[in-house]
Amino acid sequence: MNKEAMKMVKAKDLTYEYVRVLETDHGTKEEKVAALKNVNIEINKGDFVAVLGHNGSGKSTFAKHINALVQPTGGTLWVDDMDTKNDELVWEIRQTAGMVFQNPDNQLVATVVEEDIAFGPENMGVEPKEIRKRVDEALATVRMSEYATHTPSKLSGGQKQRIAIAGVLAMKPKCIVLDEPTAMLDPVGRRDVMETIERLNREEGITMILITHYMDEAVRADKVFVIDDGDLVMQGTPKEIFSQVETLQKYGLDVPQVTEVAYLLRKEGVELPADILTIEEMVGAICQLKSTT
Amino acid sequence: MIRDITIGQYYPAESPIHRLDARVKIVVTFLFIISLFVVNTFIGYVCVTAILGAVIKVSKVPLKFMLKGLKSIVIIILFTAVINLFLTQGEQVIWEFGFLHLTWEGIYMAVKMCVRLVLLIVGSSVLTLTTTPIQLTDGIEYILRPLKRIGVPAHEIAMMMTIALRFIPTLLDETDKIIKAQQARGADFDTGNLMQKAKSMIPILVPLFISAFRRAEELAMAMEARCYHGDEHRTRMNVMHMESRDYRAVVMTAVYLVFVVALRIAGNYLPFMI
């Protein structure tokens, strides 16, 4: 496999501009706004990637580009070597890169769980028998098999979101883009959904692109990208990113709670490493500290 | 309170009527309604009622549920009865006042129309009580399919019905939330005259509509993301197929129709009002 074929998503000078109409005292005024400015991103196949940014940073716009729901006004985006500007490839791109949205209620179409999961494959024109098989598999993968004939409106937010993931899985994607999938969920639902995402990445090898503003979720990713005001400002492993507490704060982002505690302790003169991300690491570091003194 | 509203009126049970293909049930119900207007004798109505009664018995749905549907149209039935009673022209006059006149023909007409209406409602209740909303929608899509050539958007109509069914509970929940939010801020929905009550609905309806439009936009995007592009090259997971019991139902309906037409012809030789 050559180097290019290893890339699931590749963006070159990706730019997206739109015209915003402003209401002023002297009538309306049109203003050009850039949601994404010359973004260059490469995401490897099989990776679990987190995209961070505060509200309005352009991270959702980036997510919609991967699914060809939005087309770039400048630059190019390739999904599995397919140019998203090519209209003939739109359906293939959407099949390769599935998308899960923030609001669990507004992405389920049918009144019965299994019918909803069948929606994607039905649109793709898959044979009825094959659809049945895919639906059962997808339900089992997200561990919702016993809810196959339930109505989505009776399920919890976390369960609905897992159904949405199953709906994408039934389309057999290589990559799933999740646009703040846990933002509207309670802690239990959030844990279930994150667990499902990580397991799918690990066991099925599906590339996961998680758009989020929860730092604790980003910690588990292979790679983190930070978008601020349409610019890609940081990229690296979670350890590289979260050790830069001050830079992150400049972009309106927090760091994981443990990392912040470590940062504050370091400021007070306690000698802790800067890249502590989990409670276990913190415990280890503190224990070592005690044994050295 | 608002959460208790059920969608459709499906009554789950294991019966031959429940198992029938939705398409067959829709067509049979349609033919049954037409047959009600073919019948024009009392003997005919007694027969039709007996047949309908037998179907209800087989469907295992309690009669109470069947008659529930009548509650909402009591006024229409009464109205029809009064109009027919007093405005039917006839020779055997019982009582007369200005343009109002009570005749034997009027009484006959009124009773006939009421029986027709009741049978019509109960007959269509059999369909809605024994068929799930999804089966109904799918059935309608299949039946309308031939009309696509003349521009009837069969798939779109079915898709709209599915989405409506899917979002009714969601929007009811939302209405509940908005009402509570407004009440928490001191809104009063229960006192005042009709005008004031109607006005107090505005703070509920405006946010509800705004949210519904936002939902619609998000749903449209989510559907596109899942490759939805109308019914071109679209397949279905559950394909409807007719089984022997469906063919039996069709044959039975055909026999019923012949019987009804025969009754009508025979009726011509019977004395008035039988």
Q: What is the pLDDT of residues A12-62, one digit of tens each?
A: 999 999 888 887 777 778 888 889 999 999 999 999 999 998 888 889 999
* Sign (positive or negative) of CA dihedral B247, B21, B237, B158: positive
Kindly report the number of other CB atoms within 10 A of residue A229's CB atom.
16
Q: Which of B227, B229, B240 to mutate to test the interface with A (most CBs of A within 10 A)?
A: B227
Domain count, chain A: 1
Average pLDDT value for residue range B222-248 = 89
Of B90 and A223, the one with more pLDDT:
A223
Of A286 and B56, the one with more pLDDT:
B56
> How far apart are the CA of B10 and the nearest CA of chain A, in angstroms?
14
Q: Which residue has the tokens 């033919």?
A: B31
In a domain, B76, yes or no: yes
Split at pLDDT 50, 70, 90, the class of B1 is very low
Position A236 scores a pLDDT of: 92
Question: What tokens does A152 get?
Answer: 């989505």
Q: In CATH, what number is assigned to the domain containing residue A100?
A: 3.40.50.300
Residues of B in contact with A119 (CB under 8 A): 223, 226, 228
Helix B244-267 crosses helix B22-38 at what angle (to 10 degrees)?
Answer: 0
Chain B contact for A131, CB < 8 A? yes
In a domain, A277, yes or no: no
Position A45 scores a pLDDT of: 93
Q: Are A179 and A101 in contact (CB under 8 A)?
A: yes
Residues B156 and B158: their CA atoms lie apart, in Å, by 5
pLDDT in tens, B146-171: 988 898 888 999 899 889 888 988 89
In a domain, B54, yes or no: yes
ipTM: 0.87
> How far apart are the CA of A89 and the nearest CA of chain B, in angstroms?
11
Domain that holds residue A61: 45-74+81-238
Which range, of A231-235, B185-189, B220-224, averages the lowest pLDDT?
A: B185-189
Which range, of A244-253, A272-281, A284-293, B128-137, averages the lowest pLDDT?
A: A284-293
Q: How many helices (H) and strands (E) does chain A have?
A: 11, 10
Which range, of A7-11, B244-248, B266-270, averages the lowest pLDDT?
A: B266-270
**Between the CA atoms of A85, A90, A96 and A99, what dihedral angle is there, to the nearest 10 degrees?**
90
Q: Is A291 exposed, middle or buried (0-12, 13-18, 19+ CB in 10 A)?
A: exposed
Position B8 scores a pLDDT of: 59
Residues of B in contact with A138 (CB under 8 A): none
In a domain, A218, yes or no: yes
Domain that holds residue B252: 9-131+242-274
Q: Give kind and range of the element (H or E) at residue B199.
A: helix B194-200
pLDDT in tens, A214-225: 888 888 899 999
In a domain, B120, yes or no: yes
In a domain, A282, yes or no: no
Q: What percent of chain B has pLDDT over 90?
A: 37
Task: Select from B35, B21, B13, B9 the least CA-distant residue to B264.
Answer: B35
Residues of B in contact with A95 (CB under 8 A): 227
* Sign (positive or negative) of CA dihedral A103, A109, A111, A117: negative
Q: Are A10 and A78 in contact (CB under 8 A)?
A: yes
Position A275 scores a pLDDT of: 80
Task: Select from B180, B199, B63 the least CA-distant residue to B118.
Answer: B63
Give chain A's end-to-end CA distance (angstroms, integer).
Answer: 51
Question: What tokens does B207 get?
Answer: 């946010």
Position B274 scores a pLDDT of: 60
Residues B77 and B71: their CA atoms lie apart, in Å, by 10
Q: What is the pTM of this model?
A: 0.82
Position A287 scores a pLDDT of: 86
Of B93 and B274, the one with more pLDDT:
B93
Average pLDDT value for residue range B63-70 = 83
In a domain, B142, yes or no: no
Chain B contact for A104, CB < 8 A? no
Q: Which of A122, A126, A176, A180 to mutate to test the interface with B (most CBs of B within 10 A)?
A: A122
Residue B2 has pLDDT above 80, yes or no: no
In a domain, A15, yes or no: no
Average predicted confidence (pLDDT) for chain A: 89
Domain count, chain B: 1
In a domain, B58, yes or no: yes
pLDDT in tens, A132-171: 999 999 999 999 999 988 888 889 999 999 999 999 999 9
